[in-house]
Amino acid sequence: MAVPKRKMSRASTRMRRAQWKATAATLVKSVDANGKVSYSLPHRAKVVEDSAGTPLFMEYKGRKVADV
Amino acid sequence: MPTPTKGPRLGGGPAHERLMLANMSVSLFTHKSIKTTETKAKRLRPVAERLITFAKRGDLHARRRALSILRNKEAVHILFAEIAPLVAEREGGYTRITKLGYRKGDNAPLAQIELVLEPVNKKPAKAKPAKAEAPKAAAPVAAEVVEEVVVDEVTEEVVVDAAGEAEVETVVEETVVEVAEEAPAAEATEEEAK
């Protein structure tokens, strides 16, 4: 089995990890009738919540598609 | 005929994939809607739609061909007796895939595949370009109305609470004379919200 010959330096470890970035998710903004703003993933069913924030069901294109 | 799938088979090999697709089809026909990963749902769609085409033909040969794939007599009976009459008017597109969220645990993208059993409402044939645009314009409006209704039901309480609090704050700041004027306004907004 191949094994590393030398210890990897702190600098090269850090240079590798510096390239390891998170990307921001694309989100769709939707505003309710009373101005409550919510964000959801595009082309995916959205979780509908009641006023207390309890998830009720999943909705897509105005139709209930699945339970949470 | 469905197009051949590209890439590796589901499961361990071709036989495993056939079994998985058959089992998923049985679940789909018995429960009308199943939740799986996106990849499996996309692979299941052509298999299930082909089986529904057999069911629409409805003769003994078609039933035997369906049985050779499904190997579950109950599911084939449901398919031929219950599902076939409901999709008799529909010309393809018997299933609907809706993407859901990501699974907790392995972050797999989930989707729901369901049978489209609603009665067909056909679009009017292409008589005039103006008429073709009219139903398209009407459809989104109807969808929005449904969505708004749902949203209103959900957030009705929020509206009332927020409106009430806002009115109370303004009343406190302003003079007593204006309180009398604000009170009917508050009631009006609440009624509108309802």
Q: Is A65 helix (H, G, I), strand (E, B) or coil?
A: strand
ipTM: 0.76
Q: Is A3 helix (H, G, I), strand (E, B) or coil?
A: coil
pLDDT number for residue B176: 46
Is the pLDDT reported for residue B175 higher than 50?
no
* Nearest one of B100, B117, B101 to B31, comparing CA atoms: B117
Token code pair at residue B29: 């026909």
Is the pLDDT reported for residue B179 higher than 50?
no
Which domains occur in chain B, in start order? 14-115 (3.90.1030.10)
Is the pLDDT reported for residue B20 higher than 90?
yes
| Closest CB to B147 among A41, A49, A62 | A62
On whether any CB of chain A is under 8 Å from the CB of B139, the answer is no
* Chain B neighbors of A56, CB-CB under 8 A: 154
In the structure, what pLDDT confidence band is assigned to residue A10 with cuts at 50, 70 and 90? very high
Q: What is the mean pLDDT of residues B173-177?
A: 47
| Closest CB to A43 among B99, B143, B156 | B99
Taking the domains of chain A in order of start, what are their residue ranges? Answer: 26-67
pTM beyond 0.80, yes or no: no
CB atoms within 10 A of CB B104: 8
Beta-carbon pairs below 8 A across chains A and B: 60
In the structure, what pLDDT confidence band is assigned to residue B78 with cuts at 50, 70 and 90? very high
Token code pair at residue B141: 């409006």
Residues 8-47, chain A, touching B (beta carbon < 8 A):
32-34, 36, 41, 43-45, 47
The string of pLDDT tens digits covering residues B89-128 is 999 999 999 999 999 999 999 999 999 998 988 777 766 5
Residue A51 and residue B154: Cβ atoms within 8 Å?
yes
The string of pLDDT tens digits covering residues A41-68 is 999 998 888 777 788 888 888 888 888 7
Q: What is the mean pLDDT of residues A12-26?
A: 94
